[in-house]
Amino acid sequence: MEHKHTYSAEGKQLCCTQTDKVYTNAGAAALVREKHTNNDGHDHSAMENGPLRMFLPPIISLLLLLTAITFDNWLPQDWFKGLFRFAWYITAYGIVGLTVIIDAVKSITNGELFSEFLLMSIATIGAFFIGEYPEAVAVMLFYSVGEVFQTLAVSRAKTNIKALLDQRPDEVTLVRDNKASTIKAADARIGDIILLKPGEKLGLDGELLTENASFNTAALTGESTPDTKNKGETVLAGMINLNTVARVQVTTAYSDSKLSKILELVQNAAAQKAPTELFIRKFAKIYTPIVVFLAIGICLLPYFFVHHYIFNDWLYRALIFLVISCPCALVISIPLGYFGGIGAASRNGILIKGSNFLDTMAATQQVVMDKTGTLTEGVFTVEEVVFHPAFDKQQTLKLVNALESQSTHPVATAIHSYVGKIDTTIQLENVAEIAGHGLKGTVNGKELLVGNFKLLDKFGIGYDIDPGSIVYTSIAVAVEGGFAGYITIADRIKEDARKTIEQLHALNVKLTMLSGDKSTVVKYVASQLGIDQAYGDLLPEDKVNKVKQLKAQNEIVAFVGDGVNDAPVVALSDVGIAMGGLGSDATIETADIVIQDDKPSKIPIAISIGKRTKKIVWQNITLAFVVKGIVLLLGAGGLATMWEAVFADVGVALIAILNAVRIQRITPFNE
Please tell me the distance from the alpha carbon of residue 628 to that of residue 641, in angstroms, as a whole number.
13
Helix then strand then coil, in percent of the chain rounded to 5, is 50, 20, 30
> To 5 degrees, how large is the angle CA 448–CA 396–CA 403?
45
- Regarding whether 358 and 501 lie in a shared domain, the answer is yes
Q: Among 146, 151, 124, 144, which residue's Cα sits nearest to residue 135? A: 124
The residues annotated with a catalytic role in the active site are: 370
Q: How confident is the model at residue 264 (pLDDT cuts 50, 70, 90)?
A: low
For residue 596, tell me if it sits in a domain.
yes
Q: How confident is the model at residue 23 (pLDDT cuts 50, 70, 90)?
A: very low
Q: How does pLDDT run across 627-638, given as a tens digit for each residue?
A: 878 887 887 677
For residue 330, tell me if it sits in a domain.
no
Q: Among 265, 269, 235, 228, which residue's Cα sits nearest to residue 249? A: 235
Q: How does pLDDT run across 201-257, given as a tens digit for each residue?
A: 888 889 999 988 888 776 666 555 677 888 998 888 888 888 888 999 999 888 777
Whether 486 contacts 477, CB under 8 Å: yes
Among 469, 490, 511, the domain boundary falls at 490
**DSSP letter for each residue of 437-469:** TEEEEEETTEEEEEE-HHHHHHTT---SS-GGG
pTM higher than 0.85? no
| Amino acid at position 201, single letter | K
Whether 557 contacts 364, CB under 8 Å: yes
Ramachandran quadrant class, 191 (left: phi over 0; alpha: psi -120 to 50; beta: rest): left
3-class DSSP state of 603: helix
- Regarding whether 598 and 521 lie in a shared domain, the answer is yes
- Regarding whether 606 and 500 lie in a shared domain, the answer is yes
Whether 238 contacts 220, CB under 8 Å: yes
The reported pLDDT for the residue numbered 266 is 59
- Regarding whether 392 and 440 lie in a shared domain, the answer is yes
- Regarding whether 503 and 443 lie in a shared domain, the answer is no
- Regarding whether 579 and 437 lie in a shared domain, the answer is no
For residue 283, tell me if it sits in a domain.
no
The reported pLDDT for the residue numbered 92 is 94
Q: Tell me, what CATH number does 408's domain have?
A: 3.40.1110.10
Q: How does pLDDT run across 165-202, given as a tens digit for each residue?
A: 555 677 888 888 888 888 888 888 999 999 998 888 88
H or E stretch including 543? helix 540-551
User: Which of 161-165, 339-343, 622-626 has maximum average pLDDT?
Assistant: 622-626
| Amino acid at position 470, single letter | I
Q: How does pLDDT run across 299-321, given as a tens digit for each residue?
A: 899 988 888 888 888 888 888 88
Q: Quick one: average pLDDT of 50-68?
A: 85
Please tell me the distance from the alpha carbon of residue 295 to that of residue 573, in angstroms, as a whole number.
47
The reported pLDDT for the residue numbered 337 is 82
The reported pLDDT for the residue numbered 564 is 54
For residue 24, tell me if it sits in a domain.
no
| Least confident segment among 13-27, 237-251, 280-294, 310-324 | 13-27
Task: Write down how long the chain is.
Answer: 671
Whether 321 contacts 635, CB under 8 Å: yes
Please tell me the distance from the alpha carbon of residue 157 to that of residue 342, in angstroms, as a whole number.
10
- Regarding whether 352 and 208 lie in a shared domain, the answer is no
Please tell me the distance from the alpha carbon of residue 78 to that of residue 84, in angstroms, as a whole number.
11
Q: How confident is the model at residue 411 (pLDDT cuts 50, 70, 90)?
A: confident
Range of the domain at 411: 381-490
User: Which of 29-33, 168-172, 311-315, 518-522 has maximum average pLDDT?
Assistant: 311-315
Instruction: List, in order, residues 6 or more apart from 622 with CB less than 8 Å away.
Output: none
For residue 520, tell me if it sits in a domain.
yes
Cβ of 468: how many Cβ atoms within 10 Å?
A: 11
Please tell me the distance from the alpha carbon of residue 561 to that of residue 547, in angstroms, as a whole number.
13
Whether 359 contacts 276, CB under 8 Å: yes
Q: Is the pLDDT of residue 657 over 90?
A: no
- Regarding whether 413 and 360 lie in a shared domain, the answer is no
| Least confident segment among 176-190, 274-288, 458-472 | 274-288
- Regarding whether 422 and 513 lie in a shared domain, the answer is no
The reported pLDDT for the residue numbered 474 is 86
Among 564, 593, 610, the domain boundary falls at 610
Q: Is the pLDDT of residue 18 over 60?
A: no
Q: Walk across the sheet containing 212-216 and list its strands.
A: 227-230, 212-216, 240-241
3-class DSSP state of 250: strand
For residue 595, tell me if it sits in a domain.
yes
For residue 242, tell me if it sits in a domain.
yes
- Regarding whether 516 and 448 lie in a shared domain, the answer is no
- Quote the number of domains for the chain: 3
Q: Tell me, what CATH number does 220's domain have?
A: 2.70.150.10
Any idea what DSSP says for residue 647? Answer: I
Mean pLDDT, the chain, rounded, equals 79
For residue 670, tell me if it sits in a domain.
no
Q: How does pLDDT run across 126-141, given as a tens digit for each residue?
A: 888 888 888 888 888 8
Please tell me the distance from the alpha carbon of residue 10 to that of residue 194, in angstroms, as a whole number.
19
The reported pLDDT for the residue numbered 440 is 93
Q: How confident is the model at residue 25 (pLDDT cuts 50, 70, 90)?
A: very low
Q: Is the pLDDT of residue 276 over 70?
A: no
Q: Is the pLDDT of residue 603 over 80?
A: yes
Q: Tell me, what CATH number does 588's domain have?
A: 3.40.50.1000
Cβ of 79: how many Cβ atoms within 10 Å?
A: 8
Task: Let me know if 306 is exposed, middle or buried by CB neighbors in 10 A (0-12, 13-18, 19+).
Answer: exposed
Among 219, 241, 256, the domain boundary falls at 256
Characterize the bridge pairing of strands 438-443 and 446-451.
antiparallel
Q: Is the pLDDT of residue 482 over 90?
A: yes
- Regarding whether 506 and 469 lie in a shared domain, the answer is no
How far apart are the two ends of the chain, measured CA to CA in Å? Answer: 37
The reported pLDDT for the residue numbered 42 is 35
Q: Quick one: average pLDDT of 445-473?
A: 89
Any idea what DSSP says for residue 216? Answer: E
Q: Is the pLDDT of residue 157 over 70?
A: no
- Regarding whether 455 and 537 lie in a shared domain, the answer is no
